[in-house]
Structure formats: C-alpha cells, structure tokens
Structure 1
Amino acid sequence: MERYSRQMLYNKIGVEGQRLIASRTVLIVGTGALGSLSGELLARAGVGKLILIDRDYVEYSNLQRQTLYTEKDADEKKPKVIAAKERLLEIRPDLEIDAHIAHCDGPLLEDLAEEADLLLDGTDNFDTRLLINDVAYKYGKPWVYAACVEASYSSCGFVPGATPCYRCLVPVLPTTTLTCDTAGIIAPAVQMAVAEQVTTALKILTEQYEAPFYMRIGNVWDMDHMKYRIDGMKEPSCETCGEAPTYPALDMKADVAMRLCGRDTVQVMDDRITEAAVDHAVGRLGTKVNRTPYFQEFHYDGYRFVCFRNGRLLIHGLDEMNKAKTLVNQLFG
C-alpha cells in the first residue's frame, strides 16, 4: 500500500477508506475534459475498476484541456475511451477498465450501471444528464454531476434516498446555451469542476457523504466560488425521485440523427452502416478511405464521414439533420 501512503495518512481516508476505494467500481459517462481527468484522479486514488463510455475520438482542439491525451492520439484519431484506457493502464497496470466506444443510451447505461457503485458525469449536454439521473435513481446508485464552460464550473453529488435529484434542481441550475465549442474554455475551470466532483466521489466511495448537501458553482477567472444547500429542494411530484417515479428519460428513444452539442457535426445511427457497406459505398464513388482499428473515414459531397463499427457515423461540417439522413440514404440506401 506504499503507493497510497500519503492518501492514507489523511485522517478522512485512512486504511479503511483506502480499502473501500479499492473495492469500488465507478462508471464514467464521457471521457472528454471532465471524464478523462476524473478517471485519472480516481485511478491514482486506487479505485478498483473503471467503466468508460464515450462516442468521440481525440482531436487537436481537445489537447489544451484534456490532459490525459497526446498529439499521437490526435494524429491517430484514437477513440477517447481507448486512449484513456491505454494511458490509465500506464499509470496503474493493475486497474481494471471496461471501455465502450458508444453513444450513451438508456439500455446501455442501465446495463452498465448495475455493476457500478457510483456514476460520474463527464458529458456536455442536458439530455444525457437526465438519463444518468434516471438510471441512478432507478437502481439506487449515487452519481456526481459536473459542468464547465468559459471560466465557470459547477458540481453536485446526488444520492437516492438522501438528496433531491438533478431533475428537482433543474429550475435553479445555472442556465446557459454556451458550450466549449461556441464560447471556449480554460483548463483551470475543468480542473476546478473535477476537483469538486472527485472529492465528492471519494466521500461517497468511503461512505462519508452526509448532510448538509450543496451545489457548488464558481468562476475561476473572477475568483468567485459559492455553494448553496439543496437539502430542501426535493419535489414530491418529481418524475425521478418523487412519490411515484416514472423515470421519463428512459422512455426517450434516441433519434436516428442528432447534432453533437456545440459542433457542426451530426451523429447518425443506422444498422445499414456496416464495414462492408462503407467499403461498397466508397468503392462505388471511387473515394479514398482512411482506416483505423476503430472506424473508416472518407469524404463525400464536401463533408467528412467517420463510420464506426456499430452502425454509427459522424458527419463533420454539417448541422442539418434532414440533410444528414439524405446523405446516408444516398450512400447506403
């Protein structure tokens, strides 16, 4: 246990706290700026297993704040969960990691959440957070929210049976349509969000997360840091944690086409998009294809297509979903 000796010297952790951390499994949804850093901190803290979900790959614009990744990962357009797994195993070869290159939908999250002791939010969109919230409360799993944009950050832990849920807090959460891709972000905002998130995670993993409970928000540029109590915010009629929960986010069907938050990119999910179908399409068009172990990449009609092995593709340079569906039909119809 020499590796964790300094952490164990901290009187809130100790030998028993370290034992608890080592026995835990944490599911991280999204391995971008938030999820990659929280994964690294938990790996270094000695967590037993990480389950990672992310649908994207490493790009150069990520490297300013996503400290787990390198230029080599961006050159190879390596899926983030694969790059994260490789780097985390370099840091801690004994760490168990289950990596999923996938869009996070209800069935996948429900399946993976059953094994987890804790869920961490590494996403950048409201709908996925509602999905995490519903899965967490349906299965009685704690989860920790985090968000950041520009120089601001926020974080909060949610525990079924002890705290109100994320849906209860939606009316009082910081409201913004800004994203990192439209408004930018500085790395210290990411690190502050993750510092709050992982500290809360360690409290939960060592069974020390107790009332009063707080939402924490701040702006690192202005040096403003605040917290407000959430204990009394539970709504009896809440569809997730109220008297008759229905977990509505789990009933939402994923759209065939959806815009990625803040980017000129549309994701399309279609069973016709197979490796063989892509080879046939690019062969018919006489288009060059770039192959990686994880996807095929080619250009068509002025757009860049990245086709994964599971019937999912990203069309870069496009923000119209109907146009995306038309392009897919032209290629694979």
Structure 2
Amino acid sequence: MKRYDRQEKFKGIGSRGQTSITEKTVGIIGIGALGTHTANTLARAGVKKLILVDRDYVEISNLQRQTLFTEQHATDLTPKVIAARDELLRIRADLQIETYIEHCDAPLLEAAFSACDLLIDGSDNFDVRLTLNDFSYRYQIPWIYGACVESTYAACPFIPDVTPCFRCVMGRLPVMNRTCDTVGVIEPAVSLATSFQAMYALKILAEEPVDPRLIFGDVWTLEHSAMKFSRMSEMICETCGANPTYPHLETRTIQTMLCGRDTVQFASPVTEFTQLTTFLSTLNINYQETPYFVRFFVNDKPVIWFKGGRLLVHDVKTVAEGQKVYYQLFG
C-alpha cells in the first residue's frame, strides 16, 4: 500500500492533489509549539522540502506542548531547528530540510525563503509577523497566521491578490497581547490552532479552492468563530494597498526583547567561535562550547552567543538591563 494512500483517498485531495503536495516547498518561521506541530503534519503529508528558522534552543518547559523535542534535547540545549530536523528525518528519510539558527528578518527571508510555495507562521512575535506579511505580499507567497495562548487559538490564511493582508485585519484579530510565559497555554489550544493552519496549508499545497476565514475560539469554553474578511482591505495599506511600500522589509534591527522570555537579543561585534573563546579567556570567563553556540555568565546573567554574532542575554526584565550586561562585556 502506498504511503499516502489514505490521504489520496480523501476526495478533497485525491491523487492529483497529492502529486501537487509532493512538489512543494514550505517555510516555517518559528519552531516552537505551532511550528513543530505543523512541521510534523506537513512532513507526514508528503511535502518535498521544509525550510525551518528559529533563533532559540530547546528548554525543559517547551516539552509540554512542543512536539518533536525530547528531554535529551533540553539537557543538551539543542537548537530547535536541529532537534526538529533530526526528528523529522526519523519520520521521513526522503524529506529535504534546510535549517537556520537565526533571527528571522527581511534579509534572511529574501535570501532563504523566496523559493517557497507557502509560509507558515509559528513565530509568536508581532514584528516578525509584520515582516513576514510584507515579504509574502511583495513576493506573492501565501502565508498562514497562527496563535494560541491560555486556551484560545486563532488561524488565518493571507493570500496575495486574493485576501486582505495581516496589516489590514490585525485590528479584528482576537487579543493575543498576553504570552504563554505569563498566563500559560494548554496543548489542546495549540493543536486546534495548528490543525486549522495545516488544513489551509493542505488546500493551498494541493491547489484546491480555499475559502479564507479568520478562525478563532476557546477550547476550554467551547467557543468557536469563523469570520470572512474579504471586505477588510484598506486602499492605503502599506502592504496590500494601491501603493504598497512594504516598510518592514527595510527594518534591519536585531536588538529586541523576546516576548515573555526575560531575554534580550543583540548583535555582538564578535562573529567567529575562536574570536569569542579567545576574548572570553582574556576576561577569565568560563564558557561551555557546543557545535552551535557558546554559553557563559556575565554577573550571574546567562549569555548565549551564536555563530555569526547573535547574542541572547537571559534573566533580564528590560532592554536597558540587557544593554548593561552587553556593555559590561563589550564596552
């Protein structure tokens, strides 16, 4: 029996749709709760290639809701894209996977994701979504928004030349300004958000008709809504209006407070492993080196340095507090 027999028997996909799916490349931005679920589903569905980007590593608190990760990944502080890649290849050896342990910004999207047929949002980050939205509409690549917090979930497809963009409808989206780190999240909310993301993804990849709706609800209270949004276009929209300027594709800053993480991200002046380890040795700072990053402490604050110079300062409440650690290190 063929691997995708049950999927092909489904009348919404069929053999023609399955053939289309197996020719497609999908980019997933953020390999956390949303990203691991959708990567797992799409790998099993038969997509040709996945391109994964995430700037973080696996922690023990991730395991409650982020599939593909194990306790060993958390112990080893394995970068999320590496852990996901290894697990996905155990599921399907012929899957092509490209990984980036990076902050997702406009240059990375333009360099690595321009050949994608579809983009999946797993970012849990408003600025990244605005950048993804601009990239999508400029390069005519559909993307699928997803979000979850506490017991609530949301999903929505944004298709250039078919639907209004994220910027046009974000005022109508359910309030998601709380974070999983402050108010928590349960796995069923993740599963519902990613189920709807995956549903839209399979329709788009199989080249079947899509009825775009903004879907949101609360799995705990059994509330659910599906709202059409085709009339929400704004002619003055900077992304999908009459004269788009795509402003977030011009943003180049990497300094940012990671949502709900007590972590600030910086771009350090040191970009190579040997440069950094020599520098730390001159300061008598002990460090732990892995194939992907170097971990050390500055005034009891954990610091993670990634190849290329990206730096995470943990256990800080504000950007200013993170900057103090940064300047103590680099002056």
Q: Same fold (TM over 0.5)?
A: yes
Is the CA contact (8 Å cut-off) linking 1:281 and 1:331 kept in structure 2? no
Give the match for residue 282 of structure 2: 284
Counterpart for residue 103 of structure 1? 103
Aligned equivalents of 1:27, 1:282: Cα separation in 2? 36
Structure 1 residue aligned with 2:317, among 319, 322, 333?
319
Residue pairs, 1:157-196, within 5 angstroms: 157-196=157-196
SS of corresponding position for 1:233:
coil
After TM superposition, list the pairs within 5 Å mapping 1:67-216 onto structure 2.
67-211=67-211, 213-216=212-215
Contact 2:286/2:296, CA 8 A, preserved across alignment:
yes
Distance 2:207 2:153 in 1: 25
CA deviation digits over 1:207-246, x for unaligned, max 9? Answer: 12334x2100011011111111111111111110111000
Where structure 2 has 5 or more consecutive residues not aligned to the other structure, the ranges are none
Percent of residue pairs bearing the same amino acid type? 47
Q: Secondary structure at the match of 1:210?
A: coil
Specify which of 243, 258, 261 is matched with residue 259 of structure 2.
Answer: 261
Asked if 1:300 corresponds to 2:302, the answer is no
Q: CA deviation at 1:147?
A: 0.3
Whether the 8 Å contact between 2:54 and 2:104 is mirrored in structure 1 is yes
1:156 counterpart letter in structure 2: C
**Distance (whole Å) between structure 2 residues aligned to residue 306 and residue 272 of structure 1:** 13
Q: Does 1:65 find its partner at 2:58?
A: no
CA-CA distance at 1:30 after TM superposition = 0.4
Q: Secondary structure at the match of 2:73?
A: helix
Q: Is the 8 A contact 2:200 2:210 kept in 1?
A: no
Cα distance per residue 1:245-300 (max 9 Å; x no partner): 00111122314x21100111111112325323331343234332111110111112
Once the two structures are overlaid, the 10-residue window that deviates more, 144-153 or 232-241, is: 232-241
Cross-structure match for 2:246 = 247
SS of residue paired to 2:4: helix
Q: Distance in 1 between matches of 2:318 and 2:271?
A: 19
How big is the shift at 1:327? 2.5
Report the Cα distance in structure 2 between the residues aligned to 1:189 and 1:327, rounded to whole angstroms: 36
- For 1:217, the aligned partner's letter is F
Secondary structure, counterpart of 1:63 in structure 2: helix
Measure the CA separation in 2 of the matches of 1:280 and 1:322: 27
Cα shift readout 1:38-59 (whole Å, capped 9, x = no counterpart): 0010000000000000000000
Moved more, 149-158 or 261-270: 261-270
Q: Which one-letter code corresponds to 1:189 in the other structure?
A: A
Q: Counterpart of 1:245 in 2: which secondary structure? A: coil
Structure 1 contact 273–307 (Cα < 8 Å) conserved: no
Query: Is this contact kept in 2: 1:297–1:307, CA < 8 A?
Result: yes
CA spacing shift, 1:298–1:291, aligned 2, 3 Å: same
SS in 1 for 2:156: strand
Number of aligned residues: 331
Q: CA RMSD in A?
A: 1.3
SS at the partner of 2:35?
Answer: helix
Q: Tell me, yes or no, if the aligned pair for 2:13 and 2:208 is still in contact at 8 Å.
A: no
Structure 1 residue 313 displacement after superposition = 1.1
The alignment partner of 2:3 has SS state of: helix
Residues 273 and 332 in structure 1, CA contact (< 8 A), matched pair in contact too = no
The separation in 1 between residues aligned to 2:139 and 2:2, in whole angstroms, is: 35
Deviates more, 1:217-226 or 1:269-278: 269-278
Structure 2 residue aligned with 1:331: 329
What is the Cα deviation at residue 196 of structure 1? 0.2
Q: Which runs of 5 or more structure 1 residues have no equivalent in the other structure?
A: none
Distance 1:111 1:312 in 2: 18
